[in-house]
Structure 1
C-alpha cells in the first residue's frame, strides 16, 4: 500500500473505533474519563498553565497560517489535482481527529450525568414557572445587594485574571455527590482570539490539545465568572454543554463571591425565560416584567454586545457547531445548552 493512503484510511478506521467505543459509556467512564484523561490533563495544565498567554491560540495561529499558505500554493489546478489534495486534507484531519479524541474528545462518550446521579430531565410547564420565579427572586436580590438599588446594572470590579483565580473556590465547594469534578491545576486564560470568537458567537472554549480554558475577554464582564466556570467544567472531563452549564452554575453559586453568584443566576434566568418562550409563546413576558431594571440592563448589555458582532460568520459557525455537537453524542446540538435548566430542576428534587 502506498504511504499516501495510510493516514486517510486510518481516519476511517478511527471513526469506526470511536463509534464502537461510544457503545460502552461505562468503559469510557472508568478507563478514560476517570483513568487516562486525568493524567493527560495533569501534564497539560501543569506544563502550560503557568504561561500567561494561550499557547493553544498561538498554535491555532500557526496552523491557520500554514493552512492558508498551502491553499495559496495549490490554488492553481486545485480541483484538477483533487485526488492528491483530498488525500492530503484527509491525512491532516486524521492526525487532528486522533489527538482530539485521545487528549480530550472521548469525554463526549462517558456516562451522562443525569444517569449517574439519577436526575430526572423532564419537567412540566408549572415546574419551569416555579423554578423561573425562584431564579428571578435570587437574581433580583443579588443585584440589589451589589448595587444598593434595583435600577443599576451590575459591574464587576475584578480583572479577568482575578476572576480566573476566584473561580477555583467555587469548585472547592461543590456538593458531595459532585466532588469528582473538583478543579485542580489552573490553566484558564483570556483568549488571544477574542475578536474572532465574538464574530463566531462564542463566549469561550476549551482547547482540547493544550487543555487551556479560553475565555472571550471582550464580552460583558458580568458574564465572565459563569463563562469561566463553564469552561473549567470542560477541563474536569465533561463533554456535554448542558452538563458544563450545570456544573459551572453550581460552582458559581457555591462561590462565596457575590459577583459569581449574580453571574450564574443572571445566566440561568435568561435560559429559563427562553425555555418558557419555547414551551408557549408569550409565556415569558409576565416573568420578564418581574426583573429589576438593573438586571434588565445587564441582559440588554449582553444582547447588544452579540448583536454588534452579528454577521453571516456567526450564523455559519452556529450551523457548524450545532452539527459538531450532534455528531458527538449531543443530539440536541446548540439546544443542549438550555437543557441544563432541566438538570437543575431535577437536581433540586433529589437534593
Structure 2
C-alpha cells in the first residue's frame, strides 16, 4: 500500500471505532475519563497552566497560516494528491483530538452517575423558575441594594480566574467527581473572532486550556469560566458543563459568582417557558427585579454589535459538530441543563 493512503485509511478506522465505542460508556468512563485522561489533562495543565498567554490559540494561528502556505505552495499539485494530503492531516488531528480529550464525549452521562431524572412537567419548570427568581432577586439586591440597578462586577478577569477555585473546591467536597486541580484558565487571544462567531469561550482539546472571551459583559464572565473548567475535568456534554458550572457558581462564597450562575440559569428557564406559554412568561417576568433585566439587556446589546452572517454560519457548523459527538440536540443541548437543574433541585434549596 502506498504511504499516502495509510493515514486516510486510519481516519476511516477511527470513525468506525468511535461508532462502536458509543455502545461502551462504562469502559470509556473507567479506562479513559477516570484513567488515562486524568494523567493527560494533569500533564497538559502542569506544563502550560503557568504560561500567561494562550498557547493553544498560538498553535491554531500557526496551523492556519501553515495550511494557507501549504496550499499556496502546492497549488500546482494534482488535486487528488491534495485530497490525500488533506485527509492525512485530518486523520492525525482527529486522533489527537480524541486521545487528548474528546473520548469524554462517550463516557457515562452525568444524569446516570448522579441518579437525576431527565423528564419534567411544565408545572415543575414553573415551580423551579419561581424558586430561581426569588434566589436571583435576593442576590441581586444583596449586591446592589437597589432592585432597579444592574449588577456591575468589580473583579478583574484575572481575579475571577483565581476565585473560581473556591466554588469548585466547595463542590468537590460534596461530589469528588468535580474536583479541579492544576488550573489553566486564560483569556483567549482570539476573543474578537470568538465574539463574531458568537462564543463566550471554549476548551482547547489539544492543550487543555480553558479559553474565555475577554470581551464578554463582566456580570456573566464568572459563569463562562466555570463552564469551561467543567470541560477541563472531563465532561464533554454542553448541558452537563452548564449544570456543573452553575453548581460551582452558586457554591462560591463570592456573590458575583452566585449572581452570574443564577441569572444565566434564570434566562434559560424563562426562555423555555416563553417558548411554551407566553402568558406564564409575562406573569413571571414582572416578578424579576428590574436590575436583572437590565443585565439581560446589556448582554443582548453586546451580542447585537457582532450579529452578522459569521456567527450564524459558525453556529450551524457547531450544531453539526455537537450532533456528531453524542449530543443529538446539537446547539440546543446547552439549554438541556434545565432538565438537570429542575430534577436535582426539586426537593433542595438552591445553594
Bin for the TM-score computed over the shorter chain: over 0.9
Paired position in structure 1 for 2:342: 345
Does 1:184 find its partner at 2:181?
A: yes
5 Å matches for 1:246-261?
246-261=243-258
1:88 corresponds in structure 2 to: 85
* Partner Cα separation in structure 2 for residue 283 and residue 325 of structure 1: 31
Counterpart pick for 1:102 among 99, 102, 118: 99
Deviation at 1:75, TM superposition (A): 4.6
Match of 1:221 among 203, 206, 218: 218
Among 317, 328, 331, the residue aligned to 2:328: 331
Report the counterpart of residue 111 of structure 1 in structure 2.
108
TM-score, scaled to structure 2: 0.96
The residue number in structure 2 matching 1:212 is: 209
Is the 2:204–2:211 contact (alpha carbons within 8 Å) kept by the matching residues of 1? yes
- Whole-angstrom distance in 2 between the partners of 1:123 and 1:175: 27
**Deviation, structure 1 residue 291:** 1.5
SS in 2 for 1:226: helix
Q: Residues 1-351 of structure 1 correspond to what in structure 2 (within 5 A)?
A: 1-75=1-75, 81-174=78-171, 178-349=175-346
Q: Is the 8 A contact 1:107 1:237 kept in 2?
A: yes
The answer for unaligned runs of 5 or more in structure 1 is none
Deviation at 1:283, TM superposition (A): 3.6
Alignment partners' CA distance in 2, 1:294 and 1:71:
52
- The alpha carbon displacement at 1:175 in A equals 6.1
Look up the SS of the partner of 2:203 in the other structure.
strand
* 2:175 match: secondary structure: helix
Query: Structure 2 vs 1, CA of residues 327 and 318 (structure 1 numbering), >3 Å: closer, same or farther?
Result: same
Answer whether contact 1:200 1:317 (CA < 8 A) is retained: yes
Moved more, 168-177 or 210-219: 168-177
Do the aligned partners of residues 157 and 346 (structure 1) sit closer, same or farther apart at CA in structure 2, a change above 3 Å counting? same
Cα offset, 1:71, TM superposition: 3.0
- The unaligned stretches of length 5 or more in structure 2 are none
Can you list the C-alpha shifts for 1:248-298, whole angstroms capped at 9, x where unaligned? 100000000000000000000000011112233454222222221111110
- Scaled by the length of structure 1, the TM-score of the pair is 0.96
Q: 1:350 to 1:295 in 2, by over 3 A?
A: closer
Kept after mapping to 2: 8 A contact 1:191/1:216: yes
> Could you tell me whether the CA contact under 8 Å between 1:44 and 1:210 is conserved in 2?
yes
Two-structure CA RMSD over aligned residues (Å): 1.3
Superposition misfits of 4+ residues, deviation over 6 angstroms: none
User: How far apart, in 1, do the equivalents of 2:283 and 2:293 lie?
Assistant: 14
CA distance in 1, matches of 2:144, 2:21: 51
TM-superposed CA distance for 1:350, in Å, is 6.6
Is the Cα–Cα contact under 8 Å of residues 128 and 346 in structure 2 kept in the other structure? no
